A and B are shown apart, each in its own frame.
Chain A
Amino acid sequence: MVAKKVIEIPYVVELPVGPQHPAVHEPILLKAYAEGEEVVKVEINTGYNHRGIEKLAERNSFYRNIFICGRVCGICNTVHANCYTRAIEYILGVEPNDRAKYLRVVAMEFERIHSHMLIEAILAELMGFDALFMNLMLDRERIMKAKEILTGNRVISDYMMVGGVRRDVDAVKRDKLIDLLKKTRERVLYYRRLWMEDDTILKRMVDVGYLSRTNATKYSFVGPVARGSGVKIDARASDKFDAYGDIPWNVVVYKEGDSWARMMVRWDEVLESIDMSIYALEHLPSDGPAVPDERKLPRRFPEGESYARNEAQRGELTYYVMSRGGTMPYRVKIRTPSFLNVIHSYILYPGYTVADLPIIFGSLDPCISCMERVAVVDLEKGVRTYVRFKDLAQGRI
């Protein structure tokens, strides 16, 4: 019998990773092309979680937007709120006093500590090291408690307000916070040593997902990803906003450029953050009340535009706010760090195995809800179009 059909198996296999929880618990599709076990190309598809926050911000007042911008991302909410609040403070010409500035730094550093510990724990889970995941999450609880004492909530802090913060700390709370931080510091030192010595971690992470210094600057990676490749970039050090100019601290830089270096940058930053928070709490200035009376803040804003930037846990975060007078902003533009880190991460995967893909992706600390952009796909024609802001503003779609 003569064969009538020949089935050809393509040499390169297309492997969709996602969009349901590819590595972290967020929706993104990494379309990987694998040749055997080796990844040759990765396409990154986004658009599963777009919420239209920039448009929502145009329909709400300046003060309501502080809380809306805080909800762009759950893990970095204090940083988002701080960046937006500073942007509208620049328009108003208001400056908080030193005590409020110190408290802002403490809240933001608490958030950095728990965010970095979370991604370290998730990476341990991605490696299949669940015991480490459990222990890390247990020790992270101390910082969540500290954040609850400081801001009144474990995750969404709603701590920033024009001209200061929304809650002050007394001596009892301050001692509690310092005690919690010192206990966390011991545990972080233990985990950092583990990260440097454990065989499982080293075998999975060393020399995986190499990013050279040239590529880090060429593809504009930011935050711990760039700092893991030897680029000394940190908005806190360059801008010295809030109290970052008064508190002694160092920018952590590693030269290795692999997944391991990116995670070690985060461990060292956690230690820096703990030291900064302890210093800030011990040297808390008392130059007047840190909490402004929210009933007496100006309701109408002058015309003007401002640009604020902040070092979020994942890199440089910028807010552009434009006011045409009145109570609502004309435009709020948010540029989040995960956008740069995730969209350009396709250069990292080729050459490594399929099993390395979640490790590399996880080591970027992706935050999809921050970085989401929308693309309109015409299903009948199979055409993918991107929507310009101009069309959106004029209601053409």
Chain B
Amino acid sequence: MPRKRGGRPKLLSLILKNFATGPATIQYPFEPTPIEPDARGRHYADLSKCTGCSLCKIECPADAIEMKPIPEEYEVPKKNPRRLYPEINYFRCVFCYRCVTVCPVQAYVTTSEYRLASEELITSRELSFSTLKKKEG
């Protein structure tokens, strides 16, 4: 292969051009990062569909899902007799979406939310309970 020796740094023209244009990095907190709408982001179980079968817990490669009882004050559909729901720990989760694809009733709601730093949403508890109604009275 030919190995030509050039006299001057070849990258110089590109560097000079880059000076004239704006910054290439995304100015993140001030402007949002462009992300695909179907990227794998934060997901949670829709408890109006969930049957509490624990299959997602068994299949999770990171052991991020724990089956917990639903508190008494919520109305639970009849197909969930054991009153269990999957609680995803987002710190452990690797976002492989195995739980989403393996769910027999397709109960998982997926979003492309990638900004996971939060004090409240460490687990999927609040997002999941927002899909249930509270008992009257």
**Contact partner, A138, options B24, B60, B62, Cβ 8 Å:** B24
Number of A-B contacts (CB under 8 A): 82
Q: How far is the CB of A192 from chain B (nearest CB, A)?
A: 11
Please state if B10 and A158 are interface contacts (CB–CB under 8 Å): no
B1 CB-CB contact with A under 8 Å: yes
Please state if A135 and B3 are interface contacts (CB–CB under 8 Å): no
Q: How far is the CB of A287 from chain B (nearest CB, A)?
A: 22
Please state if A166 and B38 are interface contacts (CB–CB under 8 Å): no
> Considering the complex, which residues of chain B in the window 55-75 have a beta carbon less than 8 Å from any beta carbon of chain A?
59-62
**Chain B residues, CB < 8 A from A135:** 11, 14, 18
Q: How far is the CB of A369 from chain B (nearest CB, A)?
A: 16
Please state if B5 and A60 are interface contacts (CB–CB under 8 Å): no
A95 CB-CB contact with B under 8 Å: no
B137 CB-CB contact with A under 8 Å: no
Known: A67-B61, A295-B102. A197 touches B39 (CB 8 A): no
The docked-state distance in angstroms from the alpha carbon of A61 to that of B6 is 57
Please state if A152 and B61 are interface contacts (CB–CB under 8 Å): no
The docked-state distance in angstroms from the alpha carbon of A135 to that of B98 is 36
Please state if A194 and B102 are interface contacts (CB–CB under 8 Å): no
Interface size of B by CB at 8 A reads 32
The docked-state distance in angstroms from the alpha carbon of A135 to that of B2 is 25
Known: A152-B36, A153-B39. A63 touches B4 (CB 8 A): no
> Considering the complex, which residues of chain B in the window 102-128 have a beta carbon less than 8 Å from any beta carbon of chain A?
102-104
**Chain A residues, CB < 8 A from B60:** 64
Binds B, one of A2-10, A198-206, A240-248: A198-206
The docked-state distance in angstroms from the alpha carbon of A53 to that of B59 is 18
**Chain A residues, CB < 8 A from B62:** 67
Listed in ascending order, the chain B residues whose CB lies under 8 Å from chain A are 1-7, 9-11, 14-15, 18, 24, 35-36, 38-40, 59-62, 94-98, 101-104
Listed in ascending order, the chain A residues whose CB lies under 8 Å from chain B are 60-61, 63-68, 71, 129, 131-132, 135, 138, 148-149, 152-153, 156, 158, 166, 193-194, 196-200, 202, 206, 254, 256, 260-261, 264, 294-295
List 24 A-B pairs, Cβ < 8 Å.
A60-B61, A64-B61, A65-B61, A67-B61, A67-B98, A131-B15, A135-B11, A138-B24, A148-B39, A149-B36, A152-B39, A152-B97, A156-B95, A156-B96, A158-B97, A196-B1, A198-B6, A198-B9, A199-B7, A200-B9, A206-B3, A256-B1, A294-B98, A294-B101
